[in-house]
Amino acid sequence: MDTPRPHLGWHSRDSLPHFDQPDLVQAITFRLADSLPAEVLQQWEVEHRKLGENRRDLERRRRIEQYLDAGHGACWPGQPEIAQVVETALLHFDGARYRLLGWVVMPNHVHVLAEMLPGFPLGDVMYSWKAFTAKEANKILGRSGPFWQREYHDRYIRDGDHFAKAMRYLEDNPVKAGLCAAPEDWPWGSARRRAELPPPSIQSVL
């Protein structure tokens, strides 16, 4: 991944659409392999089949967020040593392959706001994060096998209001999940560093 590569624009993988473009700010979520069983998703698809496409997508994302925040699965990143591995990986290439604007490492999933830099497609960045952290986490845990789910969810940021909403959701996630009283109390996220760094805005990115 050291050699710059072309970005893919609109493309699809595993039936999910992705938009990969340089200088685009992305809201990204990836989760543990066991955090959301396939049979649960399939049941939701059955329940939502009569909804319109947009409503179905919104309902699916709402239920996924609720399910993840309930703490299903092994929740390995809930262990400080594993959470540190993930956060360190996110920070490692900040400014070189992407601009990391906000992040939170939850017990069974990760949210990231990042601007993709030219020559480093989103899929390559995701592969780097997930491959390295899976290898290191499995080593710590003394296990083998899948760590992260293969797929991930990304949505490009449209404007300042969208950016502010995405950042607020990301940093408030530990509070919403009942893990801490205030965003800055959670040790594995960007809210903790707000006293040291000025909060980013969409104007500073575009």
Query: Looking at residue 14, which CATH number applies to its domain?
Result: 3.30.70.1290
pLDDT at 56 over 70: yes
Domain that holds residue 65: 36-70
Kind and range of the H or E element at 143?
none
Shared domain check, 41 and 19 = no
Predicted pLDDT at 31: 96
pTM, full prediction: 0.85
**Spatial separation of the C-alpha atoms in residues 172 and 150, rounded to whole Å:** 26
Predicted pLDDT at 203: 52
pLDDT band at 41; cut points 50, 70, 90: confident
Predicted pLDDT at 47: 86
* DSSP three-state, residue 5: coil
Query: Is 2 part of a structural domain of the chain?
Result: no
**Spatial separation of the C-alpha atoms in residues 103 and 89, rounded to whole Å:** 12
Query: Is 52 part of a structural domain of the chain?
Result: yes
Helices (H), the chain: 38-48, 53-69, 80-92, 122-141, 160-176, 202-205
Q: Do 154 and 16 meet the contact criterion of CB atoms below 8 Å apart? A: no
pLDDT at 62 over 70: yes
